[in-house]
Structure 1
Amino acid sequence: MKYMLLIYSNPESWAGLSAEQREDLTKSHRDLTRELEDHGVLVSGAGLADPITSRTVVVRDDTRTTTDGPYAEAKEHLAGFYLVECDTIDQALDYAARMPDAKYVAVEVRPVMDSSGLEM
């Protein structure tokens, strides 16, 4: 079963980190990525650019409107993801709990649907 481990962040939590904490966070991600690769569960993963670079597209009455920035008005934003293939959701939750971001904001674990629906 594939799971998305969605990493959330916010500017306040990032700004509140010391240079050493930011360095530790980066190292922790490198180490976890290596472990996920070594265990053969990592499908894909990436960090996302700052939300200010995003665009939101809405189509209403066949008219496309594009606005700058994220659609949702929230402090938190999606900062990155890992796509993993795990035997159980508990295994995915264990990996999510080991992400350094879980200490600062949150990591959401969500099953990935295949073309016929949930793979459950």
Structure 2
Amino acid sequence: MEYLLLLYADESGWSRMSPAEQEQGAAAYAAYTQALKTAGVLAGSNRLRDTATATTVHVENGKSQVLDGPYVDSREQLGGYYLIDVPDLDAALAWAARCPGASHGTIEVRPVWSM
């Protein structure tokens, strides 16, 4: 079954890190991604650009409204995702707990509703 691991964190945290800390963080994500690939469970992943680059579309009374920026204000922002294919929720939760983002943010685990 496919699960989406949604990675939430304070996006300003990266810019507050030293270059050495950024390098260490990037290496941790690279190792995690490689572990998912090696286990044969990675179906896709991407990092998202900052929320300042977001555009939000909402339709109200048949009229489209386009807004710059994210739709919701939050302490943590969606920064990326991993799409994994594992046998069950327990396996998805185990992978989520191993994600480096779990130590400095929140990992939301959502089953994918296949169409």
Matching residue of 1:118: none
**Separation in 2 of the partners of 1:101 and 1:6?**
10
Q: Which amino acid aligns with 2:82?
A: Y
Task: Tell me the distance in 2 between the aligned counterparts of 1:47 and 1:40.
Answer: 20
Letter in 2 for 1:58: H
Larger helix proportion of the pair: 2
2: CA distance, partners of 1:25 / 1:96: 16
Q: Counterpart of 1:111? A: 111
Q: How does 1:1-120 map onto structure 2 within 5 Å?
A: 1-115=1-115
| Number of residue pairs the alignment of both structures matches | 115
- Structure 2: gaps of 5 or more residues: none
| Structure 1: gaps spanning 5 or more residues | 116-120
The root-mean-square deviation of aligned C-alpha atoms, in Å, is 1.3
Letter in 2 for 1:99: C
Query: Contact 1:86–1:92 (CA<8 Å) still a contact in 2?
Result: yes
* TM-score, normalisation: structure 1: 0.88
* Structure-2 separation of matches of 1:11 and 1:42: 24
Q: C-alpha offsets along residues 21-77 of structure 1, whole Å, 9 cap, x if unaligned?
A: 221111111111111111110000000001100000010111001000000011211
Q: With structure 2 as the length reference, what TM-score do the two structures score?
A: 0.92
Give the Cα–Cα distance (whole angstroms) in 2 for the partners of residues 24 and 92 of structure 1: 25
Q: Report how far residue 6 of structure 1 moved.
A: 0.6
**Aligned to 1:94, what secondary structure does the other structure show?**
helix
In 2, the alpha carbon distance for the partners of 1:12 and 1:46 equals: 18
C-alpha offsets along residues 52-108 of structure 1, whole Å, 9 cap, x if unaligned? 000000101110010000000112110000000011211111111111111111111
Q: Structure 1's 32 and 89: CA in aligned 2 closer, same or farther, altered over 3 A?
A: same
- Superposed structure 1 runs of 4+ greater than 4 Å apart: none
